[in-house]
């Protein structure tokens, strides 16, 4: 199912949760909504599900205008953040719920067959007689997914579905869920504040800031060409460095970082560099190496104290450092945004 969101606004009291958000998702695509808390990603998901109204704008799903269509008629599968399983029902009854409340209810035998097939699909066929409180978090998530898939949705919405899982299970479940998406051929939208999760699972990532989608792109494009300073700072663990552009170069004074050439007009600016882009060289400067962590592959990672600032850097090729050694810093590359919003790649 295609999803077309255009200029949707939603206010709660004086607060704009969605402020003219637009988003377009293609058939069969897996899109992640990524943003800090309060950026409106969950509200947008709830608007798509029909659990939240809109104050302005239009939402079209599979080409159909959704205004006035209640959640129960949308046929969209939703996996809630805390799963929202029905506590008084067995796993079997939870999964069967969507089939049993249908106007044309399938026969008991058909429901049983379909529920068992779904539980097998999510790899927990042995749990059908258990209650939600008797199973683990990872199992609950699979059951919640099976319950959402029971209504055979063409669009699946996932609200921070991995939040309650421990790191090891999380990684495995992510890959499995992405595989499931591909094999079912459905359209999926995932809400997350975890950029690693968004980038690993999704075809495209929509970065949200204050109720808008500021960039919708592949993970590689987000890293290569962040559209705004916010995106550059939010994805890829970038460090934020205030600087001033003078005569075609960014100067970082008072930070002891060598100037880098950049094609921007003179004036104040902000540079964003990813961890591997700041190099430490041997040499007498005011910067001191505070911590050294040797890596199995690649150069050693350093924590450098430069005046009041603490910066992450890597050792320049062929150089070794000890704690307390003085060093000089340079940038191999950075995204620089001028105060006016103009963007350029430095280095």
Enumerate binding residues for other proteins (CB under 8 A).
49-51, 70-78, 80-82, 84-90, 97-98, 101-102, 130-131, 133-134, 147-148, 150-151
Beta strand extents in the chain (DSSP E only): 3-12, 15-25, 30-34, 56-61, 64-65, 77-79, 155-159, 187-192, 204-209, 212-217, 239-246, 249-251, 260-261, 267-273, 278-293, 301-306, 309-315, 326-331, 334-338, 343-346
What's the token pair of residue 232?
């550059």
Q: Which is nearer to other proteins, 119 or 344 (CB)?
A: 119
Nearest distance from residue 211's CB to other proteins, in Å?
21
Within the chain, what is the greatest distance between any pair of CA atoms?
81
* Alpha helices (runs of H) in 157-216, residue ranges in sequence order: 167-184, 195-201
Q: Classify 53 as helix, strand or coil.
A: coil
Q: How far apart are CA 289 and CA 173, in angstroms?
A: 39
Nearest distance from residue 74's CB to other proteins, in Å?
7
Nearest distance from residue 88's CB to other proteins, in Å?
5
Q: How far apart are CA 172 and CA 324, in angstroms?
A: 41
Nearest distance from residue 101's CB to other proteins, in Å?
4
Q: Which is nearer to other proteins, 139 or 215 (CB)?
A: 139
Instruction: Return the closest-CA partner of residue 295 out of 272, 313, 311.
Output: 313
149's enclosing H/E stretch is helix 137-149
Query: 336: which strand partners?
Result: 271, 344
Q: Which is nearer to other proteins, 164 or 303 (CB)?
A: 164
DSSP secondary structure letters along 70-85: -GGGT--EEE-TT---
Q: How far is CA 341 from the centre of its chain?
A: 24
Q: Which is nearer to other proteins, 126 or 294 (CB)?
A: 126
Nearest distance from residue 59's CB to other proteins, in Å?
15
Supply the angle between the helices 137-149 and 91-100 in degrees, to the nearest 10. Answer: 20
């Amino acid at each position: 199912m295609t999803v077309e969101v255009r200029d949707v606004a939603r206010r709660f009291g004086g607060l704009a949760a969605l402020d003219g958000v637009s988003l377009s998702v293609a058939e069969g695509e897996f899109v992640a909504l990524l943003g800090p808390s309060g950026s409106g990603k969950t509200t947008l998901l709830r608007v798509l599900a029909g659990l939240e109204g809109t104050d302005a704008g239009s939402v079209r799903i599979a080409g159909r205008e959704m205004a006035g269509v209640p959640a129960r008629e949308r046929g969209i599968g939703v996996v809630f953040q805390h799963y929202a399983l029905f506590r008084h029902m067995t796993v079997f009854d939870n999964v069967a719920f969507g089939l049993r409340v249908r106007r044309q209810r399938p026969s008991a035998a058909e429901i049983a067959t379909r529920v068992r097939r779904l539980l097998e699909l999510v790899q927990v066929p042995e749990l059908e007689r258990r209650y939600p409180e008797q199973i683990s978090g990872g199992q609950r998530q699979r059951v919640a997914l099976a319950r959402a898939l029971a209504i055979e949705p063409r669009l699946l919405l996932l609200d921070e579905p991995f939040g309650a899982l421990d790191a090891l299970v999380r990684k495995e479940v992510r890959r499995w869920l992405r595989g499931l998406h591909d094999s079912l051929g459905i359209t999926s939208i995932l809400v997350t504040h975890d950029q690693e999760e968004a980038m690993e699972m999704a075809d495209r990532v929509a970065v949200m800031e204050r109720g808008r989608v500021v960039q919708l792109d592949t993970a590689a494009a987000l890293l290569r060409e962040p559209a705004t300073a916010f995106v550059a700072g939010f994805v890829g663990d970038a460090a934020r460095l205030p600087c001033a552009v003078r005569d075609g170069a960014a100067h970082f004074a008072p930070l002891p970082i060598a100037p880098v050439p950049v094609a921007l007009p003179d004036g104040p600016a902000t540079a964003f560099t990813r961890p591997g882009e700041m190099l430490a060289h041997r040499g007498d400067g005011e910067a001191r190496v505070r911590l050294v962590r040797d890596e199995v592959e690649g150069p050693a990672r350093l924590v450098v104290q430069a005046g009041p600032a603490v910066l992450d850097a890597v050792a320049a090729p062929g150089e070794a450092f000890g704690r307390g050694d003085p060093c000089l810093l340079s940038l191999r590359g950075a995204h620089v945004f001028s105060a006016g919003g103009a963007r350029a790649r430095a280095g």
